[in-house]
Structure 1
Amino acid sequence: MPKFLIQATYTSEGSKGLLAEGASGRRAAVEQAVTGLGGRVEAMYYAFGEDDTVLIVDFPDAVSMAAVSLAVKAGGGLRTRATPLLTVEEIDEAARREVAFRAPGT
């Protein structure tokens, strides 16, 4: 299953919701959203600094990740970034593939 790193920052309204529900309440909401589309939450951590929470999730496909991302962003409580994560083996496979590319100006 494709794996994604999600970095999120709470908006003011989202922070109020976190204070009201607690971190475990938010974890339950995340689990429900992810598992509802056939995914799995591998890890969820809270942080301070630029990001308030960091997750690693598995989804059956990128479309499922996009669906969750759209729903979360539409809710207005979080600003998120999702980064696809690739295994060492996947990068090895990519490195073996021939790509017809010419750099600009060459």
Structure 2
Amino acid sequence: MPKFLIQATYTSEGTKGLLKDGASGRRAAVEQVVADQGGTVEAMYFAFGEDDTVIIIDLPDPVSMAAISLAVKASGALRTRATSLLTIEEIDEAARRQVAFRAPGKQ
């Protein structure tokens, strides 16, 4: 199952919701939305700095990630970034594949 890293920053409205719901309430909400798309939450942490929360989730496919991302962003409560995570084995497989690529300006 594809794995994704979510990095999110709360807007002022989202922060008000976090203060009201608490961290455990937000985790429950994240687990529910991910489960509704057939996935699971591997880890969820709150952080200091540029990102307020960091989440690792497993989802059936990238379309599920896109659906969650669209719904979350439309709420206006968070600004998010999603990164597809690859296993060591997947990178090993990619490294074995032949790719014909010509850099710009090269013959």
Q: TM-score, normalised by structure 2?
A: 0.98
For residues 30-57 of structure 1, the C-alpha deviation after alignment (integer angstroms, 9 at most, x for no partner) is 0000000100000000001000000000
- Counterpart check, 1:62 vs 2:62: yes
Residue aligning to 1:33: 33
**Inter-partner Cα distance in structure 1 for 2:32 and 2:88:** 30
Structure 2 equivalent of residue 73 of structure 1: 73
Q: TM-score, normalised by structure 1?
A: 0.99
- Structure 1: which 5+ residue stretches go unaligned? none
1:100 Cα deviation from its structure 2 partner: 1.0
What's the C-alpha RMSD, in Å, of the aligned pairs? 0.4
Task: Provide the secondary structure at the position in 2 that maps to 1:99.
Answer: coil
CA distance in 2, matches of 1:90, 1:21: 38
Q: Which aligned segments of 4 or more residues in structure 1 are displaced greater than 6 angstroms?
A: none
In structure 1, distance between residues paired with 2:104 and 2:47: 41
**Alignment match, 2:13:** 13
Provide the rounded CA distance (Å) in 2 between the counterparts of 1:65 and 1:19: 26
